[in-house]
Every structure is written in structure tokens, then in C-alpha cells.
A and B are shown apart, each in its own frame.
Chain A
Amino acid sequence: MKDAANKADVWQGTMALMVLKTLETMGPLHGYGIARRIEQTSGDRLVLNYGSIYPALVRLEQEGCITSEWGVSENNRKAKYYRVTAAGRKQLRKETRGWAEAASIVARFLAPETGQS
């Protein structure tokens, strides 16, 4: 139970980061577009239920990192578009730094171990 919760937390954080990054690179985008884009960017190595990005979107919006607005897609379908706010960009930079740091620490830990074996 505890593990599951932890995993969900990590996933939630990662998902938020990916959403923010996607929105920053792509500009305003709807939920479906964001989800597809995340899969594509991962080279389809990440397979997700598209529905699972909505809690992340709602949370980001509540935190003021993104805003949303109904609009029309290129195929003339009604869709809700999300855009990243100034606070969102700031958050993204902070999280990016955090990830980079975490990744480099983990990398350092793992590197000598592989050397010894």
C-alpha cells in the first residue's frame, strides 16, 4: 500500500513535469494532444492511459502553473487548450534543475558499482 502510494507520488510529479515541458515547447495544447506528445517524445517507450494526465492537469491548474480555455482544434473540433503561465515556467525551471541534479547523483552512485563488477 505504501509502495503504491509512493509510486503514484513519483509518477504524479514526473507527469506534471512532462506536461509542463510539453506545453512550454509546443505552446497551447489540449489534453489529448499533450498525452500523445508525451508518448511520442518518449519514443513510445512510455505507454500511458490518456485519462491519467487529467488529474495532473487539474492539479497544475489549481497551483496556477497552467491556465485553460476552450478553443477550436485544427480539425474544427471544440477542445480545451492549456497554456503554461509565468509561475508554471518558473516551476518548470526549478523542477528541471531538481531532476538534473537527482539524475546526476543517481548516475554517480551507479557508475562505480558497474565499474567494480
Chain B
Amino acid sequence: MRARAFLDQLTGWFRRNRREDDLTEEFASHLQLHVDDNVRAGMSPEEARRQAILKFGGLEATKESVRATTRFLWIEHILQDTGYAVRVLRRNRGFAATAILSLALGIGSSVAIFTVADSLLLRSLPYPDASRLVMVWETFSVTHEQHNVASPANYFDWKAQNSVFSEMAGFFDEYHAVVADGQRSEELDAQIVTGDLLPLLRVRPFRGRFFTKEEDESDAQVAVISYRMWQRWFNGDDAVIGRQVQINARPFTIIGVLGPGFYFHKRSTDLWLTLGLKPATAPRTGRWLQVLGRLKPGVSLEQAQTDMTGIAGRLAAAYPANDTGWSVNVEPLRDSLVREVRTSLIMLLCAVALLLGVACANVANLLLARYAARHREMAVRGALGATRLRIVCQLLIESLVLSLSGGSLGIALAYWAVRGLVRLAPQDLTRFTSVSFDARIFLAGIAISFFTGIVFGLLPAWIATRTNLRDALHGNAVSGSGDPSRLRAWLVGAEVAASVVLLAGAGLLFRSMIGLQAVNPGLEASGMLTFRVSLPHARYSQDEQSVRFFHQAAEKLSQIPGVRSVSAVSYLPFNGMAAGTGVAIGGRPPAKPGEELVTVVRTVLPGYFRTLGIPIKHGRDFIDTDNLTTAPLRFIVNQAFVDKFLRGEDPLTKSISVEMNDKNPMGEIIGVVGDLKEGSLDKEPAPTAYYVHAHLPYTAMIFVIRANSPLALVEPARKVIQGIDPQQPIADVRTMEEILDDTFARQRLSALLLGGFSLASLLLASVGIYGVLAYSVARRTREIGVRVALGAAPGRILRLVVGSGARLVMSGAAAGLAGALLLSGLMKGLLFGIGPRDPLSFVFAPAALVGVALLAAYIPARRAARISPVEALRTE
């Protein structure tokens, strides 16, 4: 019923007005003729008209029945043609399979990439009116940082002074909380929020309630949990509201549950706690708060930016010590979530569009060849009175049957591909938003298939029907204007060009990836286990307790058989997280506001550099006697620190002060170690200062254990930790290799996908070249026969055919090369170690293509060379 309604609309849309006018005119003429006759028979004009209308029998009713007739016929035709198309395709299995597979490949990859892009770039985030949500960052003129987290006091000032946001809220989600209910304890990801965050997102509690203002400001011990945790931990029991659990060894009351599927900013969050910030006491030093705002209705991003820049200017003037050089950047929430993957996704979308184009060209090519062979059938249809439009429609329906079959297969492929893609994808692709495959995608897939069918079907059908009836019936397939060979050559040329573009892009990405993998990460990654231990502050409130725990744990862990060395660090390298702070060099005047030196800071246990395999370039590592609260304050810095801040001086004679505590006395530098890259391998190393744990006693540390078979140590390590504190879980167990792998997961995924697309495109282009040449050899059998009869050697014939293919390939490759050079600039941000015009990629891509193409040309050429003149001359 739906299909019929749709077709009705389609016919109506194309032809209704013209046909209606025509019909009205025809009826008028009919009546006029009748009236004339009646008048001639002696009636008065009025009577003549009345009789004619009576005899006609209802103008509108007749029109309606004509309409019904035409509509009915349309559907009948389509059904007939569809049936016919299916029979034709069944009889030509080879052709149908090639076409359907080409299309499945093109449509499938398009749908798969579109699914990911749709979820990340197009679909609105799952909050009401999500387009009004923006992140408010601080910016720093010295480091050109555009997305810095904010200082809590600044946040409160923004909130009080702005006129562009209806609401503002802050949160912090790099927080891990140990939750215990007496039976089990587990470390969970938590989001610490200001009380207005959840209302700002317009989310409602699924059970219970959210935080009150008092709870928010007084740091009340209340928690909201995720639906996931509610089900997993409490079996969905409604009595969960009011239950007490231990969170970081303090009693908390559960006051609410969020709905299924709710997430914000970090999908793994299971727990929401209050920040306990008050405007009066919020600190201005230290930047760590992420700020979300909801734009007032009618306020544009630019207006918000202007207003906030003004406020930042006033704050910088009022608090020069803290805010000089700092301003504000307002960024749409979605942009902030997909910042890193956006370029990759857009590049991949372009790539699949190209691939789909190649698939279309390929099928159009196949169709042209087939229609040439069916010339006589079409001529007969024409002779029997079928209009050209009717034949074109019939051929189009064949194309649509092909494209919808290919499309269905492609959508099925995409469904599986997306699952694989999400699993293979780097964390930053799926950490913030979910990628889902739903009815929307299915419809988009069908629409793409439909559109594809028309794109590749229309031109061949139109050309194939532009035929000279008599010639065709006489079996002369070659008739000047109807000869589609030139179009086919163009199509193959275009396929070649698109393939070169894809191959060049893939070449660039693979070279970047190999470059990345060859980067010396600055440590020995193999054979290393890492896991995090977050001690609850309530039970380890004294620095000595935490220092003692980690010292003791490291000692016991190193006694596990097979362990070669053990240490711990506050933040692992490469995972994109580290604390940054100001640093002062002994003997220099204090820096002016806005010109402070900034360093990354870590706290480590003795033996950290040895365990990770980081070379010590000067001086020495921390030893156990350094790791005492009573020991003198000492620092180790990295090479980048020396290069940037202590150029030309002997670092081991220097003292520095690194602002992490209330008081930050000078401490001497006792060692200089090799650089590690922060975040990912394509970034430059940042200056880093290392504290020893006793002087900066974090309660959450990540153990690093070097051993031959690290994964075998997980259970023994857990036992060691729980031997010291039975309620203490370990979390985030990973090997260093996994962590390192993750840093180029994005590049690897892009390279693999683009590589796959370019190979598929290469395959399709080869099929196209083969098809065109095989067809031309078949058509020129007689000519070749004559040449052979006149004494042409097989080698000459071979060269003739391969040569005609080579011309196609060369011009296509040249066009593709030009296109690739134009487009590669867009990939700049995705490359590492090579320019967007990397010569090797641009030589390799066309070379690989020409090689494969000539191979595809060789097969029909060899057939041509073997043509026997006797048989050839007999063929026609």
C-alpha cells in the first residue's frame, strides 16, 4: 500500500499537470465536434450542447476513471518490469554478481562510515535542545592553549556576571571512586559536579532525586548512581534510595538513579558526587574545572564569546596574579567532543564518496556493455511501439533492482562493519558518545541505494536507447551516434583517477603510521604491567599513611616471582592526562604574571625510570632514602625541561620550586632523564618535573611492574594489594603496549580504512579496464583477424590492445594525481613526519595502479593475440 501510494505520487509529480491539461482539452474538442454534428442535425445550439454533455456521461467521472487507469497501469508496468529485470539478471549471473558486489562494497562502506559520522557529527546529543549547550574554556596567551580547564573562582564570577547563559555548571570527570558496601569493593568512574549540571542537561531522575543547593555547597555525602550500576550492584531494587555505601571509605547516601542510557561527557561514569564548591571560598589558583553553559534563547555563539571575553578582561584586571594572559573560549559541546576525530571522519566520508562513485562508474560501464549486446532486443521493443521513455524506465528498473540488491547486501555488511569499527576504534572515538545503527541509518542506506541506481542507470539507459532502428534490426551494433565506447572510456578514466586519489591518501596515512610506530617512545614498552590503586582519603588522611602504603606495596610486589622491578607514578605517560603547574628557577627573579614557566609534574616512587627504561642522562634516580617525608626536597627533570628553561647551564647545580603545595620551597635537581611524549607520539615532549612520592604524596598512584609475562601477574598483584588492605581494589589493569598502541589507534584505523577503500577502488577500476578492453577486442575480432591475416605478429596485436588500455590508464592516472595533489592539503593534520605532498606516496599510488591496470589489460590483449584469422573472418 505504501509502495503504491509512493508510486502514485511519483507519477503524479512527473506528469500530472500536463496530462490533466491535455485531457481537458481533448474533452472540450470532443464536445465541440458533437455539438457541431447536433447543430447540423437541426438542434438549437443550447440543446445541441446539452445533448452532447448528456451523451458524454459525466466529465469529472470520466476524468477520474482515466486517472485510475493510468495509475493502475504504472504500477502494473513497474511490477512487470521488476519481474522481467529479475529474470534478466538471473539469466546473467556473472554480470549480476559483479554489479551487486561492486555496489555492496560501495554502498556498504558508505553506510558504515556514514553511521559513525552521523552519530558523532550530525545526530544531536541526547539532551533536550542540545545545540544550545557549550563548553566554556579558559585560554592562555603564553602557551596558546585554547581549551584549558577553568579555575573554580573564575567559574563563579562568569556565572554571576554573564548575560548570555541561562545556566552554567561545572564538572570534573577524571575521578575514580572506590565504592564498597561491606561485601565487595570496586573502583568506579565518577563525575564530580556542581548541583546544577544535571538540571542544566534537562535530565530527570529515574528514581529518587538530584542534589539540592545545600547538598551541593556543603559537600554533603550523597550520591546519584547510573542505571547500569543500579542494575548491576542493586539488581534494580527500588529500595536503593536511601541506601548507604562507602565511597572512598566515607559513608554516602544514594539519593537518585539516572535513566537507562544516560551519559554525559564520559560514557563510563557510574557515580555522580557533588563538588562542594561555594562562591565565597572557591580557589582562584589551580585550574581543573570543566564548565558547561546553556545559551539563552536567541543568543548566538559570537554574542556569548564577546560577553565572556569582556568578563575575562575584567577578571584579568582584578586578579593580575592569577588571570593575566588568560581569556575565555566558548565552544559548542559537540565540537569539543569530536575535535580530534572530526578531520579523520570528514576525510573518510570523502573517501567513501569517491569509492561509491567508482562503484557507480563501474556498474554504469558494465551496463553499457550489456545494453550494447541487447541492442536488438531494444530495437524490437521500439518497433513494437514502446516509446523511448518506456524502454528507459524499464532499464532503470533493472538498475534499481541491482542497486537495491547491492544496497541491502551493503547495509547488512555495514551493520557488521560498524560493530567491528567501534571495537577497533580509538577510545576518543567512543568515549564521549555512542555509535548506533538504527532505522535512520537503514533508511539512509536505502536512499543511497536508490539514488545510486538512478545515477549509474540513467545515462547508460538513455544512450542505449538512442538507437537507429534499422541498423539495430540488421544486426549492425555499431552505429555512429549510439556508440557508447567513448563514454565507457571516460568512465574508466574517472575510476582510475578516483583510485589514484584514494591510493595516494592511503599511502600518506600508511607512511605516517609507519613513521609513528618508528618513533622512539622514550621507554621500553614491552613486558610491563600497569594498574591503578586509589586509596580512600578518609582512611589515608595522613601523608605518612599513603607514603607507607605505596612503599610497602612496591616492596611486596617486587617479591612476586618473575617481577624484575616495580615502581609507581601519578599519571602514566601517553594517556593524555597530566598535571601542569608553574615552576620557578632558583637565583632568578620571580616571573611577571602571564609569563610564568609551566611544567608538567609527576610524582614517582624510586626506581621509576629504571622500571620504565627511561635513560638517566645526568645525575641519579631517586632512591629509597629520598622517599621519606624527612628527606631533603629533590627533583628530577627531563631533557626538555633543561632545553627550555636551563639552556647552557649545568642543571645539577640548580634548584627549582614546583608549585604543588601550599608552600613550595626550592629543591635541588639531582638528575636529568630522557623525554617522553605527552598525550600521543606526534606531539612534542613537554618540560616535566618529577617529585618523589614522599614530597607529593598522591593517594592514587599507578603501579608499573616490569616482568617477562606481565599479564600473569594480575592476580598475584591483586593479592598483594589486598594483603595490605583487604578493602582495596585495583583498577585499569593494562599493559604498557596497549597504552602505547592506543596512542596511534586513530591513525591506524584511518590508514586501515583508507587502505581498504583504495584497494576496493583499485579492484573495481581493474574490472572496468578489463571490461572495456575485452569488449573492444570482441568487437574488433574481425579487424584483428584481418591484421593477423596480413601478417601482424601476435606481439604487435598484444601491444595494440594493451596500448589502447594504457592510454586510458595514463590519462586517468594523471588526472587522479592532479586531484590528489589538490586534495592532500586537507589531510595535513592527519599526517606525521611527512608533508602532504610526500613524493613516495605520489609515485607509489599511480605506479601501483598502472601495474594492476596493465595486468587487467593484458588478459583481453592475450586473447586478441591468439585470434585465428580464419575464425575471425567467419564471425560476421
Q: Which residues of A contact B (CB under 8 A)?
A: 30-33, 49-52, 54-55, 58-59, 62-65, 67, 73, 75, 77-80, 85-88, 90
Contacts and interface: CB of A to CB of B under 8 A. Distances in A.
Interface of B: 22-23, 25-27, 29-30, 32-34, 36, 55-59, 61-62, 65-66, 68-70, 73, 77, 383-387, 390
Give the dominant DSSP class at B's interface.
helix
Contacts of B55: 49-50
B385 A59 contact: no
A64 to B, nearest CB: 4
Contact of B385 (A50, A55, A67, A78): A67
A62 B346 CA distance: 47
B29 A64 contact: no
A87 B62 contact: no
Nearest to B52: A50
A31 B52 CA distance: 13
A90 B61 CA distance: 32
B387 A59 contact: no
A51 B69 contact: no
A52 B384 contact: no
Contact of A51 (B58, B77, B390): B58
Q: Which of A62, A77, A78 has most B Cβ within 10 Å?
A: A62
Contacts of B22: 80
Contacts of A88: 385
B390 A77 contact: no
Nearest to A48: B57
Contact of B69 (A55, A73, A85, A90): A55
Nearest to A55: B69
B652 to A, nearest CB: 96
Contacts of A50: 30, 34, 55-57
A57 B29 CA distance: 15
B385 A87 contact: yes
A58 B66 contact: yes
Given A51-B56, A62-B73, A77-B29, A32 B385 contact: no
A65 B34 CA distance: 26
21 contacts: A32-B29, A32-B34, A49-B62, A50-B30, A51-B27, A51-B62, A54-B27, A55-B68, A55-B69, A59-B73, A63-B73, A64-B386, A64-B387, A77-B33, A77-B36, A79-B29, A79-B30, A79-B33, A80-B25, A87-B384, A88-B385
Given A30-B29, A77-B33, A86 B385 contact: yes
A52 B383 CA distance: 29
Contacts of A77: 29, 32-33, 36
B29 to A, nearest CB: 5
Q: Which of B22, B32, B55, B386 has most A Cβ within 10 Å?
A: B55
A78 B29 contact: yes
Contact of B58 (A32, A49, A80): A49
A50 B387 CA distance: 28
Nearest to A84: B385
Given A58-B66, A73-B33, A78-B29, A49 B386 contact: no
A62 B67 CA distance: 12
B40 to A, nearest CB: 9
Contacts, number: 84
B364 to A, nearest CB: 27
Contacts of A58: 66, 69-70
A59 B33 contact: no
A65 B73 CA distance: 14
A51 B26 CA distance: 11
B77 to A, nearest CB: 8
B384 A64 contact: yes
Given A55-B66, A80-B29, A64 B390 contact: yes
B862 to A, nearest CB: 46
A9 to B, nearest CB: 12
A51 B61 contact: yes
Nearest to B70: A58
Contacts of B33: 30, 32-33, 73, 75, 77, 79
Contacts of A73: 33
Contacts of B57: 49-52
A77 B27 CA distance: 13
A14 B29 CA distance: 25
Contacts of A59: 69, 73
Contacts of A32: 29-30, 33-34
Contacts of B23: 54
Q: Which of A49, A67, A86 has most B Cβ within 10 Å?
A: A49
B2 to A, nearest CB: 24
Nearest to B54: A49
Nearest to A66: B385
Q: Which 7 A-B pairs have the closest CB atoms?
A: A49-B57, A51-B62, A64-B385, A87-B385, A85-B385, A87-B384, A55-B69
Contact of B30 (A31, A62, A64): A31
B62 A90 contact: no
A2 B34 CA distance: 35
Contacts of B70: 58, 62
Q: Which of B36, B73, B385 has most A Cβ within 10 Å?
A: B385
Q: Which of B33, B57, B62, B65 has most A Cβ within 10 Å?
A: B33
A78 B29 CA distance: 6
A34 B512 CA distance: 79
Contacts of B36: 75, 77
A57 B33 CA distance: 18
A47 B30 CA distance: 17
A85 B382 CA distance: 11
Given A30-B33, A77-B32, A79-B33, A86 B66 contact: no
Contacts of B386: 64, 87
Q: Which of A31, A51, A78 has most B Cβ within 10 Å?
A: A51
Nearest to B74: A62
Contacts of A62: 69-70, 73, 77
A114 B336 CA distance: 94
Contacts of B59: 51
A86 B56 CA distance: 30
Contact of B66 (A49, A54, A64, A79): A54
Nearest to B386: A64
A80 B26 contact: yes
